[in-house]
Every structure is written in C-alpha cells, then in structure tokens.
Amino acid sequence: MNSATNPWLMLLDDLVEDWIGITLPRPAVAMQEFIQKDGCNWCGETIRKNEPCPCASRRLKWNRVIRLGAYKEPLSSSIVQGKYSAWSDMLAYMGKLLGERMKGCAPPNSVIVPVPMPMMRRFFRRIDHSYVIAVHASVASGIPLKRALLRRNATPQAAKTATGRKKMSRNSMWLRPLARAKGKNVILVDDVLTTGRTLEVASNILKDNGVKSIQVAVLAVTELPRKGKKK
C-alpha cells in the first residue's frame, strides 16, 4: 500500500510536509550567498588557470553543459536538502535559475527531458527531483518538457561502487513509446553531474532514436580529481 491510497499515510505526509515547511527557510534566503558560476562549456568542470580541463581526454556524448555552479556550499546542501527532505520549494527555486540559464542557449525545436528516476526509489524518496527541476526549468525558459525516458528499478547509484556505476548497462533505461524524440534538440536535466555515466546512457538512447543534439543542464558539477595537479 502506498501513500496515495492509505488515508493515514496521506495525513502523515501532509503533517511532515507542513512541519518541513515551518522549519526550513525560504529557498531564496537559504541561497542568498550563492553566485552562479559557469564551468567548462563542454564538460561543466570548473575552469582552472594553467590546468588542462578533464574533458581534454574524455569523449563526451553531449554538445554542452549548462550548470548553476560547482558542487560546493551553499549549492551542495541546498541540493541535498531538496532531495532528501523532499523540499520541493528548494528544487523549484534552483530549477527556475537553471531555466533562466537555458534561455538563449537553446536551438529551435528544443525539449527538456528529465533523467528518469526508478519507480521504487521515487516511492521511498517521495520526490522525483530531476522531474521537479525540469518542470520549473521549463516554466522559466519556455522550453517544452517531455518525459521521454523510463528507467528500470535498480540499486541506487550512491550505494554502488565506481566500477558498478560504469557497468550500469544501457538497457536500464529506454525511450517511452510515442516519445517522438526524432529531430529534437534535447536538454537533459539532472541534479548533479558526477561521473556522467547516467547522462551518457541517456544520451546514447536518445541519439540512437534520432535526437539531433544533446545539451546537459545540471544544478551542480562535482569536481573530478585532475591529473598532474601540483600540491
């Protein structure tokens, strides 16, 4: 039984939501020290002087990365709180910022596609964070939203090792029937770009189905360890 059918669970959900609403500050207040910062156009990493960007040795599946900033404070805690305490106001706020960034970057015939969350995880987390971000980015940018991808239930990414993540097979995700992705310029939306594996799987599927171009839009990008970095 889930919270949509059990009235007691529904009541509990409402109470928890109200309580969270009281204790959490307004998103704009929590994020006030945050300044948006562009990263590398291709991989989204923070650009550092005199250091080669990690994408110099990577083959990327997308044309561009749009981000709000690096995965650092206050962005990182806002994302964590948004995801794990189902603080949808915060995700909405950040999604709106991301949507404003997309304006003017999107070629004609663009659609926003959220990276799908497996059903089971969505049930336990109570919120599909990429979807919430994508909805508000769509409203802010005027670019239509299309839930073109579906995803099979799997062990949460965070619980897996780096090798496990890499092995994530491409049949863990597929295109929704009648998604009509052909010829579109897709903006793939996710919360955080880390290894990029999930986004690569999604990009491969979209490209195999005739998508014209792919841009990635994320709230934050984690900084990868760099080769040849002096201590």
Q: How many residues bind Zn ion (CB under 5 A)?
A: 6
Per CB under 5 A, does 70 bind Zn ion?
no
Cβ pair 212, 206 in contact under 8 A: no
Segment contacting Zn ion by CB under 5 A, of 38-46, 87-95, 142-150, 153-161? 38-46
Least Å distance, CB 102 to Zn ion, is: 19
Least Å distance, CB 138 to Zn ion, is: 26
Token pair recorded at residue 145: 């939203």
Token pair recorded at residue 191: 């919360």
Least Å distance, CB 52 to Zn ion, is: 9
Segment contacting Zn ion by CB under 5 A, of 55-63, 90-98, 111-119, 154-162? 55-63
Q: Which listed residue (30, 40, 113, 179) binds Zn ion by CB under 5 A?
A: 40
Q: Which listed residue (43, 75, 148, 181) binds Zn ion by CB under 5 A?
A: 43
Rg (CA), the chain: 18
Burial of 79 (0-12, 13-18, 19+ CB in 10 A): buried
Give, in degrees to the nearest 5, the angle at Cα 202 between 199 and 204: 110
Q: Judged by CB, which is closer to Zn ion: 116, or 196?
A: 196
Segment contacting Zn ion by CB under 5 A, of 49-57, 135-143, 150-158, 214-222? 49-57
**3-state secondary structure at position 193:** strand
Per CB under 5 A, does 224 bind Zn ion?
no
**3-state secondary structure at position 217:** strand
Q: Judged by CB, which is closer to Zn ion: 128, or 190?
A: 190
Say if residue 52 is preceded by a cis peptide, omega within 30 of 0: no
Q: State the helix-helix crossing angle for 129-141 and 88-102, rounded to 10 degrees.
A: 40
Least Å distance, CB 162 to Zn ion, is: 20
Q: Judged by CB, which is closer to Zn ion: 13, or 38?
A: 38
Q: Which listed residue (27, 30, 31, 53) binds Zn ion by CB under 5 A?
A: 53
Continuous H helices in 146-192? 162-167
Q: How far is CA 31 from the centre of its chain?
A: 18
Least Å distance, CB 44 to Zn ion, is: 7
- The residues that touch Zn ion, with contacts defined as CB under 5 A, are 40, 42-43, 45, 53, 55
